[in-house]
Amino acid sequence: MAAQKIAGISYLGDFRMTFGENPRKIRNIVEGNYDAFRAVYRRKLQNSSFVSPSIHDKSTLVANTADADARLELLRSLPSNVVERLGPIERLAEQPQTKKRVQKAVSSIVHRYSRTQSIKGIVTAGGVKTVVYVAQKLQRTYFKRR
């Protein structure tokens, strides 16, 4: 589902997702806000040259990621801090590992900010509250009763 992929970008590299976080967090976000995701992204996707309707179902959109020109257009639409980490995007658009390179760039940005947010949270809440909070998250995630 495209909405889950879009929402998941925000969590690429977020170290908090590796422990104590609900593994269904992204799905829950999308399911709870699907109409809003659709309203925000549907028109943008329909009007882009790198997405076209499926031949089997016109209401389903299919990404054209095999075309280097389409990938270049996508790369040019990325935020500047992501593009800076990728190097020359013209060459990258022609390479098969474009997706992995973009994921790595986004992941490194998200990781840095998630770590900073966590440190600020610890300082703001204090050590005891932080330990209690982490323990509760771990218990909900790993030790919940079935």
Which pLDDT score, from 0 to 100, does residue 1 have?
63
DSSP string, 53-110: E-SS-TTSEEE--S-HHHHHHHHHTS-HHHHHHH--HHHHTTSTTHHHHHHHHHHHHH
Taking only the tens place, the pLDDT of each residue in 19-61 is 777 888 899 999 999 999 888 888 877 777 777 777 888 777 7
Which pLDDT score, from 0 to 100, does residue 26 have?
92
Taking only the tens place, the pLDDT of each residue in 70-120 is 888 888 989 999 999 998 998 888 888 888 999 999 999 999 998 888 888
Checking if the pLDDT of 145 tops 60, the result is: no
Q: Does the pTM exceed 0.95? A: no
